Structure 1
């Protein structure tokens, strides 16, 4: 039997190890698709330290999408009204290079915008940064991590002086108090939750507190569920801090020796009496006191959060308010303790290391820091001043720039903004304003392809070799185990070839992704995310390794390949090596409910689907698991509106509408609604949650408040079945596009 390929699941940031088996296996039954073609198979890799052999339904079925609806050749059209025509790669590259040169002459370098993805491997990210921020001289490279983890990035940087989750998954089995806030971990990071839940069940003294407006599967497993009102997170956290301070449940030695700003923080806390906090959050005083007492008594508190904190107009402030509690109690840098951001995408961490947001540079450097710019310029062999001192546009700002005709080329890769961005009707109108849009993806159709002038077929997971870094900073080599279909190419190769055609042959003389990684590793030397001790060869030989991993290794980093906690000595990455408290109050929701729009709509993911269904929508088992969108509503709200479960409603905000059936459930409180975010126009009619959401973003992180907007609900009867298997219409079929279709997704066993 052929040895399985060891790789990483390409979905969420948990970073589960997978073993992939080829279709033809002697003496083994072969999985086949509806047409009888043999399928690749996946199973959990028991040797991977992060997942220990566990895998969720997404990872178990991912290989079934490899040959579904693939984009196989470059396609070009002159306008959005014209059909695509197949062209050669030479024609495609010439078109991109010519448009870049035209824009640089007419609008300047800042007329170029690139929007990337946490689906990239680190090598893809790095080559794109070198091209855009280095050679082209604009920082207008942003990624969909802006919608995911940018508030966590900002919170870590402001509190600790550097990005990077300080915890390890080993802390899941070492904590005696787990606080999960703004995360439905059971559905969105299921393997992390499985590890925590096993520890929780086996140890009666271990407590789990879940903070979420919904009674999710995560909340159902908790010892205490705090169903707070949307937007009241800072109030709750300050209320817990108030009680910890009142009870003297502090770590004075740590506060005095390792932090700064505690006095100003305590001045804020005095305003958060329990009765006030309970009323604002919509919870009982007794429950608030139980949460604070559990934190105070614990030997090691591990907090975890995800989009519920990050996707907010106060995202950075929420993250820092949570970190404050760890600092005041010394719960950081030791087993079972620390503030742990659960990353949304498989390589959002690698993207942060490589500089894949518009305000950062490779190696955890900042665009605004002149020393950092100078270091990168010298490393890349570029003249002084080549890298702009001005942070680039976030993706939201890119949409505004399109409206204002300040963009001459928009290059989108491995993401689907025509579904995922807020204020979607306005977003689509902005995308139509682009003079030239390049869309680089593995699949067709997608909703964003409808706004593209040039389509580039990208190799995806399993078809290119590279690295990914998961939420606990573990780097895994993901080798190619099959060739890309037809003319598809790895993303880094596409970026590098454009660089060469623009005259930067020396900067992009890479013969392999291993060479790209070797160069990238060197640019991290001496930085908090130092990986100079890593290479493709070492990762292939030793397996996954957690950073920091410098060359030569220190005694601390050489002691283990993983489970390296940051800040174990109480020394932080700030100038004085002290962490910073943040004295913060909350302004609440950016768009609170009112008489016209009386409900708060919150959004989120489901267990089986991931993001905009570009991959999971093409897998039959997952489609059957989650066939259609829905709106969760409390029974008393449904009764007041005279709505029965299964009936259809129209949800309206100031920006748009959506129509979908109602799921009446006690799992959500009065005044709050929930809608999954996976359904774009390709998969259901008028069910886009982001047609409703607003674009107001955290002023520090630039992350929009996708988790809350004000809406009204109007009953519309029963226009059809709640099970929308697929849309009535699809974008045009490309010449020589993949033969399979969405409607005949491959079955699973």
Structure 2
């Protein structure tokens, strides 16, 4: 093959377009990686509307990991203390189907769970929903979006009537005030931030406010950095609203005609005067007033947020607090403004659209709404009542279900919960108790593979064709440019074949992913995310933003939602929320005096399953670390690079200290990427807790109370880290390439 293939970067939710060319090109030298191996050449797609040819280090190096440490064949073992043995797909299917039938007959459908990922393509997601929620009648499909974006989903739905960011990336070029809260976009969504930074630098009247306990690279370029205490976001948002109302920065006509519940909101914010808010947040009254003045005097305010807001026991309230500010000032539905959630995973949006959470159904429907269930049942050809009216198990509920014996089958697809779940030692102990776990992944080994009875090799980026939706609702066709390695198959193919063998052959007639997508988009008809005008053939001509119904002869302006100021609620009005701040689920105390937060590093992606195998990125981030303020370091007699042990009520981990004024006193930071495969006692989630938001059920991964103990007379983490894969591989008896 010598042609260039257009596809999408499979990392974050920015959704950057890529062009991929094979290693050998006529008249050109073979493209090779850092170790001299031939690799596909990757560059940014200048014609992609979202990224315009830009690409970060992760996207630029993606091809270097495509052949490293791949799971090539199905593997099977009868118990976790046995080694895996290579088997045929027939044997793997037989074992899975037999076990699922047995559990279905003895424990019922609700004992069967699938845990997916925003790495899945929309076609993968959709087939999984049809199998679990339709064929089996259980809503026990959840994804790692539960840990990532579910608070944003709940906030949008409750305030605006439907999920879906109402903004677009063009707004980055048009805003005159960017309000960034709970997002280190410079490292986590770099292409989006680069675009905003260029606009900010070019236009001196444009203001940038960054709210973060850390002075991140994002905060470094802000006009105003508010280093608030962790857990005081709602105090800040209500405090800004208090000042906006006091100073008359308030669109009374919009509020009167387009919203409801403002009086309750006004009563709540009356309790948040600047002196009180500044003290709670740990900032000055002057800076609080400056933030409110920037917002109030700006004609186009664009708010951007991510995990620092969503991963909270009051995440939905925080999201709605941000939206409140837009509603009271009429900053929505117009160019350059609006509440913009930056999605974490590459297809978390596609997962939300196709029903990929345990409370959702395809087409932005909800399992608890009778009409929504009836519409999907009728479309799928199931009798009334087949789809359960109750939430299925969330990601954490699956863990507690393993603890109680109520979960008999756990099928994990394209994710690594043995590293990413909160209170991960408890999660790992529960996984050890699982009667039957299927791990479906492209890479091997992973930490989660150690807890599996069956390993299924999945085709990954570049080896299967399907669609993904990015943060600005742009759908891109990700086309395969090479065959899968070994016996790997696309995720949707594997799930569909299990469905056929369970007796539902008529529900999975698909010959290819284009047919899956053609069926799926019919379920979006007349929904907020209407994509009935889209198809693989249409998307092969270029990415398209939804809504895009089939009634549109040509693409209309779908860049922004709610431009008519009518919202997706029954009465067309947006809803103000009225929340008081509750603070952290686990505040510090004398025994655990520090608040630990965590986050992503620029070069790494989540649990390093892919990025940890790329030499350039390993050199960028050779080991984890713990950020600590000089005042706290001096108090504990900790110096730069000293090994320190962090302890919470649940576990412990060790990191070399990084003494820096970039972190607020009393707050600590560690990166979230290191699991057992990459080092000893470096798991950030050994410390975190599973307390979650009551509406979104998203865990508060961003804050827990810890104590800090200097470690003496122990090997440095660098020496420990050199073991990397060796220790883990020995522990789980997994060969590198089965």
TM-score (norm 2): 0.98
Q: Deviations over 1:414-459 (max 9, x none)?
A: 0000000001111011111110000000000000000000000000
Q: CA deviation at 1:619?
A: 0.2
* Structure 2 residue aligned with 1:369: 369
- Give the C-alpha shift of residue 736 in structure 1: 8.2
Secondary structure of the structure 2 residue equivalent to 1:6: strand
Instruction: Provide the C-alpha distance between the structure 2 equivalents of 1:734 and 1:460, rounded to a whole number of angstroms.
Output: 24
CA-CA distance at 1:383 after TM superposition: 1.1
Tell me what 1:658 maps to. 653
Report the equivalent of 1:215.
215
**Which residue number in structure 1 is paired with residue 2 of structure 2?**
2
For the 8 Å contact 1:68–1:738, the answer to whether it is kept is no
Aligned counterpart for 1:610 among listed residues 605, 627, 647: 605
What is the SS of the residue equivalent to 1:717? Answer: coil
Mapping of residues 368-447 of structure 1, within 5 Å: 368-447=368-447
Deviation of 1:253 after TM superposition, in Å, equals 1.1
Whether the 8 Å CA contact 1:7–1:17 is kept in 2: the answer is yes
Matched with 1:716 is 711
Q: Secondary structure at the match of 1:503?
A: helix
Return the offset for 1:544. Answer: 0.5
1:549 corresponding residue in structure 2: 548
Structure 1 segment 487-636 matched on structure 2, within 5 A: 487-541=487-541, 543-553=542-552, 558-560=555-557, 564-636=559-631
Q: Does 1:730 align with 2:728?
A: yes
CA distance in 1, matches of 2:18, 2:311: 30
Matched residue, 2:328: 328
| 1:291 partner SS | helix
CA distance in 2, matches of 1:558, 1:632: 48
CA-to-aligned-CA distance 1:607-659 (integer Å, 9 cap, x gap)? 00010000000000000000000000000100000010100011000000001
Q: Give 3-state SS (helix, strand or coil) of 2:178's partner.
A: strand
Q: Given that residues 531 and 551 in structure 1 are in contact (C-alpha distance below 8 angstroms), is that contact kept between their aligned partners in structure 2?
A: yes
1:649 aligns with 2:639: no
Give how far 1:536 is off: 0.3
Indicate if the aligned counterparts of 1:653 and 1:692 stay in contact, CA closer than 8 A. yes
Say whether the 8 Å CA contact 1:633–1:664 is kept in structure 2. Answer: yes
Match of 1:456 in 2: 456
Q: Which residue is 1:744 aligned to?
A: none
Match of 2:129 in 1: 129
> Post-superposition shift, 1:128?
0.3
> CA separation in 2, counterparts of 1:125 and 1:108?
23
Task: Write out per-residue CA displacement over residues 554-573 of structure 1, whole angstroms, 9 at most, x where no aligned residue.
Answer: 8xx8334xx52000011001
What is the alpha-carbon distance in structure 2 between the residues aligned to residue 712 and residue 730 of structure 1?
27
CA distance in 2, matches of 1:489, 1:99: 21
Residue matched to 1:48: 48
1:33 deviates by 4.2
Q: Which residue of 2 aligns with 1:63?
A: 63
Distance in structure 2 (CA, Å) of the matches to 1:18 and 1:386: 41
Please give the alpha-carbon distance, in whole angstroms, between the structure 2 residues aligned to 1:720 and 1:490.
43
CA contact (8 A) 2:2 2:24 kept: no
- Within 5 A, what are the aligned runs for 1:223-234? 223-234=223-234
Give the TM-score normalised by structure 1.
Answer: 0.97
**3-state DSSP class of the match of 1:504?**
helix
Say if 2:470 is the partner of 1:475.
no
Superposed CA deviations along residues 522-581 of structure 1, whole A, max 9, x for unmatched, are 11101000000000000102x000000001118xx8334xx5200001100100000000
Deviations for 1:280-307, whole angstroms, at most 9, x for unmatched residues? 0000000000000000000100000000
**Correspondence 1:88-127 to 2 at 5 A:** 88-127=88-127
Q: Does the CA-based 8 Å contact 2:97-2:498 persist in structure 1?
A: yes
Distance in 1 (alpha carbons) for counterparts of 2:241 and 2:560 = 24
1:688 corresponds, among 683, 686, 698, to 683
Which runs of structure 2 are paired with 1:16-35 in the superposition (5 Å)? 16-33=16-33
C-alpha deviations, 1:170-205, integer Å up to 9, x for none? Answer: 000010000000000000000000000000001010
Distance 1:439 1:93, change over 3 A: same
The separation in 2 between residues aligned to 1:713 and 1:668, in whole angstroms, is 15
Residue 180 of structure 2 aligns to a residue whose secondary structure is: strand
Structure 2 residue ranges without an equivalent (≥5): none
Partner of 2:665: 670
Partner of 2:486: 486
> Hey, what's the Cα distance between the residues in 2 that align with 1:125 and 1:34?
35
CA contact (8 A) 1:16 1:51 kept: yes
Give the conservation status (yes or no) of the 8 Å contact 1:85–1:735. no
Cα distance between partner residues in 2 of 1:365 and 1:351:
12
Give 1:301's aligned residue: 301
C-alpha change, 1:285 and 1:718, in structure 2 (3 Å) is farther
Distance in structure 1 (CA, Å) of the matches to 2:305 and 2:533: 30
Aligned length: 734
CA contact (8 A) 1:646 1:722 kept: no
> In the alignment, is the contact (CA less than 8 A) between 2:83 and 2:734 conserved in 1?
no
